[in-house]
Amino acid sequence: MSNLAFQITMLVLLMVVALRATAAEPETKETVTNLHFYFHDIVSGNNPTAIRVVQPADSYKLTTLFGAVVMVDDPLTETPDPNSKLVGRAQGFYTSACQQELGLLMSMSFSFTDGSSISILGKNSALNPVREMAVVGGTGKFRMARGYALAQTHWFNTAGDAIVAYNVTVVH
């Protein structure tokens, strides 16, 4: 390789390195936010917040409801009291995806009153004392979020209504 070819090659390499350095976005420090709120899933009464939109084809799985799909627009509140301060809404669906247990596939946006949201996706083994689901994204102040949500049933009745405590750790 001639001296001129070597110099041109080195100049091109230096230009590429310089361009990459100036085009890179500034490094931002990530924030960890811990959230605590209550999810009110109401399937009974005159004003349900969760409605079954797909009924399982066979009733042989009555204990697991395998195949059922439920659309939700559930309130999220500061305390278990349904009349406590509204902090957001859980909007999306859950479906019974397990034949051996009451295992729900949750796909929801927890939309908060400030306009931000987090997206939850994962299995919710509803009869376990504590369940963990993934935070897979977010908007607003939670843009590019990741993390996990721990759900713990606070109260439920025979009609299927439930209040669930959520402790969510969000990295954004």
pLDDT band at 64 (very low <50, low <70, confident <90, very high): confident
- Domain residue limits at 48: 29-171
* pLDDT, tens digit (0-9, with 9 covering 90-100), for 101-114: 999 999 999 999 99
pLDDT-derived band at 60 (thresholds 50, 70, 90) equals low
* pLDDT above 60 (res 1): no
Residue 15 DSSP SS3: helix
Indicate whether 37 belongs to any domain.
Answer: yes
- Residue pLDDT, tens place only, 68-82: 999 999 999 999 999
Q: Tell me the CA end-to-end span of the chain in Å, nearest whole number.
A: 49
CATH number at 76 reads 2.40.480.10
* Bridge partners, residue 160, by sequence: none
Overall number of domains in the chain: 1
User: Across the chain, which distance is largest between two alpha carbons, in Å?
Assistant: 85
pTM across the whole model: 0.83
pLDDT at 65: 87
pLDDT of residue 27: 67
| The most confident of 14-18, 23-27, 30-34, 98-102, by mean pLDDT | 30-34
Per the prediction, the chain carries an average pLDDT of 90
Nearest partner of 162 among 153, 150, 151, 172, judged by Cα: 153
